[in-house]
Amino acid sequence: MQPDTLLEQINQLAEAYAKAQTCRALAHAAHLEVAHLDVAREHLRARAAYWDAHVAAQRAALTAALRSALPPTIYAAPDPLVCVRRPNNREVEVRGSLARSGRGVAIRFTGLQAVAVGAAMIACAAVGTDHAGGGLAEILPPIPPVRPVPPA
């Protein structure tokens, strides 16, 4: 599917949603202002229902179009220079690029999420290494020696 076609479907969905909300707001305003506008109010409610049905149909069509246009899973390779960085004092960012296009991707985690993801990755690597006949010590970097602190 061409990007222009997809954008047009998104635009049509947004327009139908806006029309439904406008009709609903006008029906509510007519209810608040004048009590004898029952016919106009019901007409606006019917129009809102009509546009709601269009929104539902267009959303279903857009969902199907997106699912067919986009791959179910996007695979990225780690950034060879800076695959993990701290963009600020609160988050950890994992960076990479899409395999086909080379487009950059980033996933940001809170500190707690980063620790959980890191632990899960180590566990998966350990299990995978063990099944392949290796050991976890073979894939982990050595622990740097502690240099003694000279007395003051």
Q: Is residue 121 part of a domain?
A: yes
7 pLDDT exceeds 90? no
Stronger pLDDT, 12 or 135, i.e. the higher one: 12
- Specify whether 57 is located in the same domain as 94: no
Q: Is residue 55 part of a domain?
A: yes
Q: Which long-range contacts (CB under 8 A, 24 or more apart) does 6-14 make?
A: 6/62, 6/65, 6/66, 6/69, 9/58, 9/61, 9/62, 9/65, 10/62, 12/58, 13/55, 13/58, 13/59, 13/62
Domain region containing 105: 76-139
pLDDT of residue 86: 93
Last residue of a domain, one of 51, 69, 87: 69
Total count of domains within the chain: 2
pLDDT of residue 132: 62
pTM of the complete model: 0.46
- Overall size of the chain counted in residues: 152
- Give the DSSP H/E element, type plus range, for residue 84: strand 84-85
- Specify whether 131 is located in the same domain as 85: yes
Q: Is residue 149 part of a domain?
A: no
pLDDT of residue 131: 64
32 pLDDT exceeds 70? no
